[in-house]
Amino acid sequence: MKTYACGHINPDTDSVCSAIALAYLKTQIGEPCIPACQGGLSPESEFVLSTFGLEKPELKNDFSGENLYITDYSDLAQAPHNLKETNILGIVDHHKLGDITTSTPLECWIRPVGCTCTIVKEMFEHHKVEIPKNIAGAMMLAILSDTVLFKSPTCTKADTKAVKELAQIAGVEDFKALGMEMFLVKSAVKGATPRTLLLRDYKDFEMGGNKIGIGQLEVVDLKVFDDMKEALFADMKAYKAEGGRHTVMLLLTDIITEGSQFLVVSDDESKVESAFGKKLENHQMWVDGVLSRKKQVIPVMEKQF
Ligand code: MG
Ligand code: MG
Ligand code: MG
């Protein structure tokens, strides 16, 4: 029986880096653990790993018969196949509590902070294990990614403190500049298929018996989507039909002006309109100040459904 650490499907940088960091920590305290991810890496995550010379985690989406530490989610919809046949040893997460249950006691580190890597850093401190330079750098960028360079309402003092300390360990002088470089990589969407973009940071949610899918693309300038919206809408419609979804939304988030352009394909657009108190025009609306799906979108949508 092997032990793995792995984040959610459609892995983002936090899912990838928290699995790497947690697997390292567990291995150091005498519990050999392998980092894994449930899907291909985004250009942003590739940038983070190559900047700090880290290997890509093993690609794996079925852990049956193995031990598993879950990072960055606790929803069944984001879990690997055959989770019932997987021995879940622990959950480290910063989202709302999901619907994963276990048959044996487990280790749980769940905190309302901006990033799972912030919690993993606390775990290193708890176990008095030093964080290697390269892993510290990757954790630092994961926190900057999840908190949108500290601008997201999910960002806490624990996150800013963690970034400063990790930057010092990693020997990064200007972490803001490196964070901006990462967001520029994230903003390069040219050449990617609509499906790749829709699913790059996408999650399905169960809301009042309806399947609601919400994707998000964070960029430094929304102009990159100007010639792409029609193709994105066509693919969102197809994806909605394929999965029997009630709604598929894509948030095009401008991290500089701080707000999101919502693209909406829904059986009932009025639900989305009343959730945000705005009218959709051509299935689109701009909502000022919305940066966080977790804190500013999911809770208001759940209330509607
Ligand atoms: Mg995540
Ligand atoms: Mg996260
Ligand atoms: Mg995110």
Shared domain for 155 and 213, answered yes or no, is: no
Q: Is the pTM of this model over 0.85?
A: yes
Report the CATH number at residue 96. Answer: 3.90.1640.10
Distance from Cα 145 to the centre of ligand 3, integer Å: 7
Q: Is residue 218 part of a domain?
A: yes
Distance 112 CA to ligand 1 centre (A): 14
CA 80 – ligand 2 centroid, Å: 17
What's the pLDDT band for 188 if we cut at 50, 70, 90?
A: confident
**Residue-range definition of the domain harbouring residue 213:** 194-304
Whether residues 14 and 160 share a domain: the answer is yes
230 and 276 belong to one structural domain: yes
220-243, pLDDT tens digit by residue?
999 999 999 999 999 999 999 999
300 within 8 A of 276, measured Cβ to Cβ: yes
189 is a domain residue: no
CA dihedral 143, 144, 149, 155 (to 10 degrees): 0
In the reported structure, the alpha carbon of residue 169 is separated from the centroid of ligand 1 by a whole-number distance in angstroms of 24
Boundary of a domain, candidates 150, 166, 184 = 184
pLDDT at 190 over 90: no
pLDDT in tens, 127-181: 999 999 999 999 999 999 999 999 999 999 999 999 999 999 999 999 999 999 9
Residue 217: pLDDT band (50, 70, 90) is very high
Q: Does residue 13 register a pLDDT over 90? A: yes
Percentage of the chain modeled with pLDDT above 70? 100
Ligand 2 geometric centre to CA of 107 (Å): 18
Count of domains in the chain? 2
| Same domain, yes or no: 213 and 148 | no
Assess whether 286 and 159 both reside in one domain: no
- What spacing in Å lies between the alpha carbon of 25 and ligand 3's midpoint? 23
Ligand 3 centroid vs 293 CA: distance in angstroms? Answer: 8
Q: Mark whether 152 and 273 lie in a shared domain.
A: no
Task: Tell how far the Cα of 72 is from the centroid of ligand 3, in angstroms.
Answer: 10
Query: How far is ligand 2, taken at its centre, from the CA of residue 94, in Å?
Result: 6
159 close to 143: Cβ distance less than 8 angstroms: yes
